[in-house]
Amino acid sequence: MTSSVIPATVLREGLPSRRLLIIMSGRVMCQVYHRIGDPVNLIPTTAPGQADNAMKSIPAPGSVVEESTSAPMPPTVEEIQLPNEQATVTITPIECVYPSKTSWTIQGAVKEKSELKPWFNRHLCIEQKVFTMILSDASGDIKANVMGERAEQIYSSLEMRKVYRIDKPKIVMAKKKLSGLSHDWEILFGKETTVVEGTY
């Protein structure tokens, strides 16, 4: 099937003859980035000069369009000066942590804390202690899991609604059905994880 352009003449009573083009189908051969001829709108839709400005804003063929390098700003990290120490610590918002080579430092208040429960470690074939807690900051909540000797060591020292700074936690995939949180990740206290009382 071929495309056709058919000229036709229509005669109407009391009106001069008109020549019509009936376009059955078509396809775009190329894109034109400049005005052809001097078209005039029957009903003006823009103020004088606006159409010219709009045409100038269309890039010419082959030109390189510079894309905006701006991006949504992530939640701001916070740097705090440790008392009686020279170094500063960068605090990352809880909602921003994810598995990476970065050693995260987060700070949050203990929103919930479970009981210290027995847990059978299948890898070591021994029974250990475990507890979980929900840490909260201005950006969101995250679940923390503490197992083994660490659980017994720090359980009694962590108080509800107090703020703690946690350095170098392990980031693991969240079990959302158990935690009820929207965060995609949870933290796990490893051998290098440290926890101290923090401040806001």
Instruction: Say what the pLDDT of residue 119 is.
Output: 85
Q: What is the mean pLDDT of residues 68-78?
A: 51
* Alpha-carbon torsion, ordered 43, 49, 51, 57, to 10 deg: -170
The whole-number average pLDDT for the span 150-178 is 94
Q: pLDDT tens digit string along 90-106?
A: 899 999 999 987 789 99
What is the per-residue pLDDT for 188?
A: 94
Could you tell me if 61 and 31 are in contact, meaning their C-beta atoms sit under 8 angstroms apart? yes
Identify the pLDDT of residue 33. Answer: 44
Closest CA to 23 of 7, 39, 36, 1: 7
CA 75 centroid distance within chain = 10
Mean pLDDT of the region 47-58: 53
Q: Average pLDDT in the 114-123 region?
A: 88
| Average pLDDT along the chain | 75
The pair of three-digit structure tokens given for residue 18, joined into one six-digit string: 């008109």
Q: Which amino acid is at 150?
A: R
Q: What is the mean pLDDT of residues 54-61?
A: 53
Write down the pLDDT at residue 164.
Answer: 97
Task: Tell me the residue ranges of DSSP E strands in 42-125.
Answer: 78-81, 88-91, 105-113, 117-121
Output the pLDDT for position 53. 55
What is the reported pLDDT for 92?
94
pLDDT of 176 higher than 50? yes
Listed ranges 32-41, 51-60, 157-166; the one with the highest mean pLDDT:
157-166
Residue 57 pLDDT: 52
Q: What percent of the chain has pLDDT over 90?
A: 42
**DSSP-based three-state secondary structure for 59:** coil
Kindly indicate the confidence band of residue 157, based on its pLDDT and cuts at 50, 70 and 90: very high
Distance CA 8, CA 104 (A): 76
Q: What is the model's pLDDT at position 12?
A: 46
**Global confidence as pTM:** 0.57
Dihedral class, residue 111 (left if φ above 0, else alpha if ψ from -120 to 50, else beta): alpha
